[in-house]
Amino acid sequence: MKLSLEGKWIAGGFGLTLLLMGLVSLTSYNNTTELIESAERVQHTYEVLNTLTDFYASMTVAESGRRGYIISGSQQELKRHQIAVNDMQSKIDLLHKQMTNNLAWQQRMSRLNSLVTQRLGLFRKSIALYQQDPSAIQSQALITEKSVNIRDEIQRVLADIKNEEERVLRVLLNNSRSTIHYIILIELIGTVLSFTVIIGIYLLLYTQWVQRQKVESLQHTLAQEKELGELKIRLFSMVSHEFRTPLSVILASSQLLGEILQDLVEQNQLRNLYRIQSSAKLMNQLLTDILTLTRAEAGELNYKPELLDLEAFCLNLLEDVGFCGIKSHSLRFISNGRCVRVYLDEKLLYSILSNLLLNAIKYSPNGGNVYLILNCEAEATVFQIKDEGIGIPAENYSEIYEPFYRGKNVENLVGSGLGLAVVKKCVELHQGEITMESQVGVGTTFTVKIPHLKV
């Protein structure tokens, strides 16, 4: 009789579990269907917003091209204007396809079409006027004024459309969020009840408790490590600041004293003064490298890409290196390929190339050549720093990027062993790679390849 009762409990529990799972599955299916439909509407709204953004960008380019053509008479600017006008029309057509059967939407689109037609007509009129009489500045100014007024009207219409779409988007997202919460709630309830029937509430609570203990322990450990990292950064920042101030005073004073004594004493008598300057610069570079490396290890070294003119950047860098008083070497810059503006982090790139250049100079004999080679490829930018120095032994290849490590053949040359470690961290933040070719007694070539950021 006892076994039969237990069997009934098992059968009842199994049936109840199946019923709960069936109800949860049915509810989840219905909510998921609604969620998919909502997601499609959200996608449509995002497409409309993107089309509006693209249209405004094309309109801006068209106006820029028109003004550029009128100012300079450049056919390239005219072509850019024409391409942008065609793109504007394609975006308007796309907006018509994306529009809903909504009266307010249709009224806004009708207004937008009218304004765009008027502005395009002013564009054509301005270009034709310039082609007939380039000196008609006053007439061009009147056309430009009308164009600006129409542009403001277009902006207001676009703003109305955008605001409406964003309102719809917020409603859809709120509905989707509510649906997701409802799905999660239903599934959680069904899961908890099912596990309660099958396994038992005690085992479930025990498992959750164990997991919670692990998570709390991990969070505590991570919090301690984060606190230590922040403390280390604050300490090095404070030390760096306290050292930089007297170092700047020493360097500035020694440079001023050198300028004063340059015409009064012989050059060999200024040797100790130059040593002071060199040591101050070395200490300043050491502090910079330590702080950079510390931030990188703590995850506080941020990657902030911006558009850079690479050739101008490299020339300025070589000029900075020259200003540091390094006149015993010949610094040469070579640019290959069509180098355009690319997205790179200027500070990190400066740290990469300056460290490699200073190392090349440090470990090269006086009078040697140091090359900075810029290769511009379709998918990446490649920098090469080549010297004619002492080279790096093959047995040191695997360790040269470790902090404070120095090669066995550096002899009495002063250095901290931090430069290449800093370079490695900065290259990794660019998602790039660094390679090296070296021959002892002949020279070393470091190659840094940084992929182009897709924006």
If DSSP states are collapsed to H, E and C, what string results for the chain? CHHHHHHHHHHHHHHHHHHHHHHHHHHHHHHHHHHHHHHHHHHHHHHHHHHHHHHHHHHHHHHHHHHHHHHHCCHHHHHHHHHHHHHHHHHHHHHHHHCCCCHHHHHHHHHHHHHHHHHHHHHHHHHHHHHHCCCCHHHHHHHHHHHHHHHHHHHHHHHHHHHHHHHHHHHHHHHHHHHHHHHHHHHHHHHHHHHHHHCCHHHHHHHHHHHHHHHHHHHHHHHHHHHHHHHHHHHHHHHHHHHHHHHHHHHHHHHHHHHHHCCCCCHHHHHHHHHHHHHHHHHHHHHHHHHHHHHHHCCCCCCCCEEECHHHHHHHHHHHHHHCCCCCCEEEEEEECCCCCEEECHHHHHHHHHHHHHHHHHCCCCCCEEEEEEEECCCEEEEEEECCCCCCCHHHHHHCCCCCCCCCCCCCCCCCCCHHHHHHHHHHHCCCEEEEEEECCCEEEEEEEEECCCC
Instruction: Report the pLDDT value the prediction gives residue 272, as an integer from 0 to 100.
Output: 72
Instruction: Report the pLDDT value the prediction gives residue 122, as an integer from 0 to 100.
Output: 81
96: tokens are: 């018509």
User: Residues 237-255: what's their mean pLDDT?
Assistant: 65
Q: What whole-number distance in Å separates Cα of residue 40 and Cα of residue 322?
A: 59
pLDDT digits (tens, 9 = 90+) for 313-343: 999 888 877 755 456 678 889 888 777 788 8
Q: Do domains 207-295 and 303-451 have the same CATH topology?
A: no
* Residue of higher predicted confidence among 297 and 306: 306
The CATH code that applies to domain 303-451 is 3.30.565.10
User: From its phi and psi, is residue 411 left (phi > 0), alpha (psi between -120 and 50) or beta?
Assistant: left
- The reported pTM is 0.45
The CATH code that applies to domain 207-295 is 1.10.287
273: tokens are: 């003064």
Contact 157, 111 (CB under 8 A): yes
* Residue of higher predicted confidence among 41 and 447: 447
Q: Where are the domains of the chain?
A: 2-198, 207-295, 303-451
Identify the burial level of 228 via C-beta atoms within 10 angstroms of its C-beta, where 0-12 means exposed, 13-18 middle and 19 or more buried.
exposed
Contact 357, 372 (CB under 8 A): yes
Instruction: Report the pLDDT value the prediction gives residue 5, as an integer from 0 to 100.
Output: 44
Given the candidates 1.20.120, 1.10.287, 1.10.3470, 3.40.50, the CATH classification of the domain at 2-198 is 1.20.120
Contact 357, 387 (CB under 8 A): no
> Side chain identity at 373, as an amino acid letter?
I
Instruction: Report the pLDDT value the prediction gives residue 396, as an integer from 0 to 100.
Output: 79
* Span of 74-78, 362-366, 403-407 with lowest mean pLDDT: 403-407
pLDDT digits (tens, 9 = 90+) for 271-282: 677 677 666 666
Confidence tier at 390 by pLDDT (50, 70, 90): confident
Confidence tier at 3 by pLDDT (50, 70, 90): very low
Instruction: Report the pLDDT value the prediction gives residue 433, as an integer from 0 to 100.
Output: 92
Q: What whole-number distance in Å separates Cα of residue 127 and Cα of residue 69?
A: 8
> Side chain identity at 239, as an amino acid letter?
V
Determine what percent of the chain is predicted with pLDDT higher than 90: 5
Q: What whole-number distance in Å separates Cα of residue 107 and Cα of residue 403?
A: 66
Instruction: Report the mean per-residue pLDDT for the chain.
Output: 76
pLDDT digits (tens, 9 = 90+) for 176-235: 777 777 677 776 776 776 667 667 655 665 677 788 888 888 887 777 766 666 665 565
pLDDT digits (tens, 9 = 90+) for 129-173: 788 888 777 887 788 888 888 888 888 877 877 787 778 777 777
Identify the burial level of 61 via C-beta atoms within 10 angstroms of its C-beta, where 0-12 means exposed, 13-18 middle and 19 or more buried.
middle
Residue 402 has pLDDT above 70, yes or no: yes
Contact 84, 58 (CB under 8 A): yes
* Span of 65-79, 121-135, 233-247, 430-444 with lowest mean pLDDT: 233-247
Instruction: Report the pLDDT value the prediction gives residue 2, as an integer from 0 to 100.
Output: 46
The C-alpha angle with vertex 206 and arms to 202 and 210, in degrees rounded to 5, equals: 175
